[in-house]
């Protein structure tokens, strides 16, 4: 393993935030057009299996110096902003030429435990959100985020076999899960390596839930871009799952154990709010899901599906759909309560009107 070294490569560290319910990318572009640092999402490989709706903007945020394992390295920072409210920050850390595989695993473990990037990312995210505030709808400060690391290698030294055989020579799983101390079991290794893909005999992609290894001699960033997009979708699913949790809990607490007055419009208000939340959330979730469509079984489409599987999209979608169904049911029940209250009030009014007519008649007969 010590004989294999990285001749050319970089580590892509991502922090993805939800900063708004919607972002006007045209306005964002105008904000940054004077700086000439904005760009649109592009894929190098012409691939008809991916249809991207409303491509995001990529914006260079400059370079900083970071001390990583006692080495001062230049780190490029860029932002990618999506119309559905997601901000993705990428920290591009160069891999020093001649870094051995075991040293690279050590760097991975160090990055896993260090909080420099987290602190930088939170600060940059706040600054960016403030800069584009005029272009957002319903800004939010949700404190959760998604993190991911892609080890992007263009050239190796000391390895002469087929690239698909790389895991037989070096400990790829140890790099992907940043495990520099323990010797991994065969079961863990198998679970990670089963997510291996190739487009040609010269490249390689191994995707796990928290990091990936991409070997791409051409330097094409297609695979990392698709993984980054899937990561943004994951964050949005987590965010709206949390939003629905909070809204449902609020509705349950408002209704449970409390009696409403006959003339109260409380249930009417709650029913209207529940219906509005349902429509807004369902629309936004559909927008996120439809931002990228997979229409064929090509390489990048397969990358996206594999990332989706590792990120457990199906589980998150199921959870969101169940909560949307619960919200719809709550809305229906509240509307039923409102109708029942209105019927009761109508009956009382009718009784009173009858009384107004009958009481004088009876009084007259008696006297």
CA 316/CA 220 separation, integer angstroms: 30
* pLDDT of the residue at 138: 83
* pLDDT of the residue at 261: 47
The token pair that represents 48 in the structure block: 């008809």
* pLDDT of the residue at 263: 45
* pLDDT of the residue at 306: 92
* pLDDT of the residue at 273: 66
* Ordered mean pLDDT values, 10 residues apiece, the chain (367 residues): 87 96 89 70 59 80 92 94 92 96 95 93 94 89 92 95 95 94 92 94 95 96 91 89 84 63 54 67 69 67 90 88 78 63 69 73 65
* pLDDT of the residue at 262: 45
CA 179/CA 104 separation, integer angstroms: 11
The token pair that represents 282 in the structure block: 């369902």
Query: b/e per residue, 41-63, with b = 16+ CB within 10 A?
Result: eebeeeeeebebeebbbbbebee
**What does the DSSP assignment read for 55-111?**
PPEEEEEEEEEEEETTEEEEEEEEEEE-TTSEEEEEEEEEPPTTEEHHHHHHHHHHH
CA 258/CA 255 separation, integer angstroms: 6
Cβ contacts of 138 within 8 Å, gap of 6 or more: 20, 21, 22
Contact status, residue 50 vs residue 293, Cβ threshold 8 Å? yes
121: nearest Cα among 16, 18, 39, 224: 16
Q: What's the pLDDT tens digit per position in 180-238? A: 888 999 999 999 999 999 999 999 999 999 999 999 999 999 899 999 989 988 998 89
* DSSP secondary structure letter of residue 163: G
* pLDDT of the residue at 13: 98
Alpha carbon 96 to its chain centroid, in Å, reads 31
């Amino acid at each position: 393993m010590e004989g294999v070294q990285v001749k050319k490569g970089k580590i892509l560290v991502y922090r993805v935030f939800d900063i708004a319910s919607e972002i006007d990318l045209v306005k964002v572009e105008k904000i940054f057009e004077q700086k000439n640092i904005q760009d649109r999402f592009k894929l190098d490989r012409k691939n008809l299996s991916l249809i991207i709706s409303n491509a995001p903007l990529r914006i260079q945020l400059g370079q900083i110096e970071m001390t990583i394992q006692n080495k001062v390295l230049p780190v490029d920072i860029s932002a990618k902003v999506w119309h559905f409210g997601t901000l993705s920050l990428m920290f591009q850390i160069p891999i020093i030429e001649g870094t051995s595989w075991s040293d690279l695993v050590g760097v991975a473990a160090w990055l896993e435990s260090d909080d420099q990037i987290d602190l930088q990312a939170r600060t940059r995210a706040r600054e960016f959100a403030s800069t584009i505030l005029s272009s957002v709808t319903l800004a939010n400060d949700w404190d959760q985020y998604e993190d991911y690391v892609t080890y992007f290698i263009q050239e190796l030294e000391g390895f002469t076999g087929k690239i698909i055989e790389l895991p037989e020579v070096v400990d790829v799983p140890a790099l992907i899960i940043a495990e520099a101390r323990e010797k991994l079991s065969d079961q863990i290794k198998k679970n990670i390596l089963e997510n291996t893909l190739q487009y040609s005999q010269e490249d390689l992609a191994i995707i796990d839930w928290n990091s990936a290894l991409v070997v791409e001699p051409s330097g094409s960033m297609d695979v990392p871009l698709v993984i980054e997009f899937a990561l943004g979708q994951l964050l949005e699913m987590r965010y709206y799952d949390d939003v629905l949790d909070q809204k449902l809990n609020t509705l349950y607490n408002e209704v449970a154990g409390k009696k409403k007055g006959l003339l109260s419009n409380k249930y009417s208000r709650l029913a209207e709010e529940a219906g509005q939340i349902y429509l807004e959330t369902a629309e936004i979730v559909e927008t996120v899901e439809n931002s990228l469509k997979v229409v064929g079984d090509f390489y990048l489409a397969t990358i996206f599906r594999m990332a989706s599987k590792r990120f457990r999209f199906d589980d998150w979608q199921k959870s969101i759909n169940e909560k949307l169904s619960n919200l719809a049911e709550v809305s229906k029940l509240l509307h039923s309560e409102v109708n029942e209250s209105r019927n009761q009030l109508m009956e009382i009014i009718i009784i009173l009107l009858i009384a107004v007519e009958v009481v004088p008649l009876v009084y007259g007969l008696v006297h």
